[in-house]
Structures are given as C-alpha cells and as structure tokens.
Copies of this chain bind each other. A is one copy, B any other.
Amino acid sequence: MKLTILGCHSATPRTNTNPTSQVLEIKNHMFLIDCGEGTQVELRRNKVKFSRIKHIFISHLHGDHYFGLIGLISTFQLLTRETELHIYGPKGIKEVTTLQLKLSESWTSFPLIFHELTSKTSELIYEDDKVEVHTIPLKHRVYTNGFLFKEKENERKLDINAVLNANINVAYYRKLKQGADVENEDGILIKNESVTKNPIPAKSYAYCSDTVYNEAIIPIIKNATVLYHESTFLDKNEALCERTKHSTARQAGKIAKKANVKTLILGHFSTRYNGYDVFKSEAKEEFNNVLLAQDGKSFEF
C-alpha cells in the first residue's frame, strides 16, 4: 500500500503549497482522493500514469478539494482516453462537471460515471474481489465524506509440507486457503490450522478531511493501518475549529488513539504557521506514531 501526497494544504494554492489531493495505490488500484486546483500538474510531477486512474473520490465541494477535477477530465479527453472513469462525490458534482463540459461544447470520449453520495451514514461505495471502499461521514461546513479503503482479508497460506504429509487431495487446496477443514484421502478430518498459516494481515487506509473533531467516526476507522486526519490548526487556534469545522493536530491525535490505528498522518495544514514540526509534537502528546504529510512525499505501508 503506497500513499503519495500531491497536496496537503488548506485553502488557496500558492507557489509552494498545493491544495488537497493524494493517490493511494492498493491491490493494483490507483485511487485518486480529492483533486484541488493543479492536481493534474502534480500527477505529472510525481509521474503518476493518468491511465491508471480509474476511480476518483471527492470528499466535498469546497474548491481546495475539487477545482482541479474538470481540468483533469478535460486532459483525459484531450489525450483520447477510452477507459471508463468513476467519480464518487457529493450530489452536485455531476451537474457542475457536465455544465462545464456542455459550455465547452465537448463530451468525453470515455465513459464518465458519477456516483453521487447523499447518505449520512457510512456506506459501501466500491467493492471488488480485493478491495472495499466505505464512506466515513464527516462534520464540516458542507456535506463531506472521508473514505475508508480496505483490503479484503487475504487467503490463509498453505504449509505445503504439512499438507503433503496429511495426504490431502489437491482439489481441496482452495478450501484450505479459505479456512475450511477438509477430509484427506483416507477419510480423516484435517483441522485447517494444522496445515495452514495465518494470512498476511489486510491493510486499510482511512482518509478524513475536512472535519471537526468527531468521535462518531471511531467505529468506522477502528484499527486502521493508516489514518490521514486533517489538522488545519494548532492548539492556540482551537477556537477557530468550531467556527470553520476543522481540527487541531491534538484532536487528530486523540482520534488516532481512540480508534487504535497504527499510524497517523497529519495534513490539510493552514499556511498561517511557519513550520510543521509543532503539528507533530502536539499530536504526539496524544498518540505516538505520527507522520507529517508533505507535498510530493510518498509513504509505503
């Protein structure tokens, strides 16, 4: 699982700070999460192949999270893309995108499929044999979802010597990987644990931006491998959080701790501060394993 931060700053794009966008590589997928202005250039800068992006998840319709979407779609069109593109985001995203296409008197050469979200409770919005994506309802000034990307449980691994010794027909190997007990060639029941090993643990990535401190998300993101939680502000500006519906680094740490995640990545920094280390130190007072997002930085888990 590899996460590449294209932009991790709040509000307006600047010469040295990009608004929110990131790419998650998980089980051969390349999921684009949010798409602030300039995202297509950051994708190029980070050498992400456009053709690998088939699913784009938009958290909410504030500009710093989606103003780059129409430009990216238009570029896909100019590059004569044919692969279908799925866009998950709040109701309204289809209307605004299609209006912009209509005004340019163009349409896409590829299927453009919108999945508009309106639910206020967590829902499964994507699933295949390897991965699931669930929404994480967040509390912000407008309708907003985070997203939980979950690998499905991997299959159990055969202990091949034990399997051969137990005289099990090869036709049953599939069932063994799925965790079932099977009968061997002599009609004896073989307990699964005696011939298989635990699978590689499934990983998960919870993306939570933008949101006020909200313990309601904890059951959804519980035990996630990685949590990206917004931390727009520091303690000293906590008063701004309630008004603007954002979080402090400390609050992100509290959520990480209560949700028992393995790693917390902080992002969506306000550009009012001079450095980022203090975000980390404030969050670390609540939760130990804290990393800082940075434009252009990749994390492997």
Q: Interface of A with B (CB < 8 Å)?
A: 11-15, 37-38, 40-41, 44-45, 61-63, 67-68, 70-71, 74-75, 78-79, 90, 92-93, 95-96, 99-100, 103-105, 141-142
A85 smallest CB distance to B (angstroms): 16
In whole angstroms, what is the CA distance A8 to B93 when docked? 30
**Which residues of chain B are within 8 angstroms of A75 by Cβ–Cβ distance?**
11-12
> Which of the listed residues A13, A44, A90, A141 has the most CB atoms from chain B within 10 Å of its own CB?
A13
Give the contacting residue for A141; candidates B41, B68, B105; CB below 8 A.
B105
Q: List 28 contacting pairs A-B, 8 Å CB cutoff, sorted by A.
A: A11-B75, A11-B78, A12-B40, A12-B71, A12-B75, A12-B79, A13-B41, A14-B41, A15-B44, A15-B45, A37-B37, A37-B38, A37-B40, A37-B71, A61-B103, A62-B104, A63-B70, A63-B71, A67-B67, A93-B103, A96-B96, A96-B99, A96-B100, A96-B103, A99-B99, A103-B142, A104-B142, A105-B142
Question: In the complex, what residue of chain B is closest to A63 when comparing beta carbons?
Answer: B74
Contact A13 B71 (CB under 8 A): yes
Contact A67 B78 (CB under 8 A): no
In whole angstroms, what is the CA distance A189 to B15 when docked? 63
A219 smallest CB distance to B (angstroms): 28
- Which 5 A-B residue pairings sit nearest by Cβ, starting from the closest? A12-B75, A61-B103, A37-B71, A63-B74, A92-B103
**Which residues of chain B are within 8 angstroms of A40 by Cβ–Cβ distance?**
12-13, 37
Told that A37-B68, A67-B100, A99-B99 touch, could you supply 6 new A-B pairs with CB distance under 8 A? A13-B40, A38-B41, A96-B100, A96-B103, A104-B142, A105-B142
**Which residues of chain B are within 8 angstroms of A68 by Cβ–Cβ distance?**
37
In whole angstroms, what is the CA distance A284 to B94 when docked? 47
In whole angstroms, what is the CA distance A60 to B74 when docked? 15
Give the contacting residue for A67; candidates B61, B70, B90, B96; CB below 8 A.
B70
Contact B142 A14 (CB under 8 A): no
Contact B99 A95 (CB under 8 A): yes
Give the contacting residue for A74; candidates B12, B44, B74, B96; CB below 8 A.
B12
Question: In the complex, what residue of chain B is closest to A74 when comparing beta carbons?
Answer: B63
**Which residues of chain B are within 8 angstroms of A70 by Cβ–Cβ distance?**
63, 67
**Which residues of chain B are within 8 angstroms of A96 by Cβ–Cβ distance?**
96, 99-100, 103
Contact B41 A15 (CB under 8 A): yes
Contact B141 A44 (CB under 8 A): no
**Which residues of chain B are within 8 angstroms of A41 by Cβ–Cβ distance?**
13-15, 38
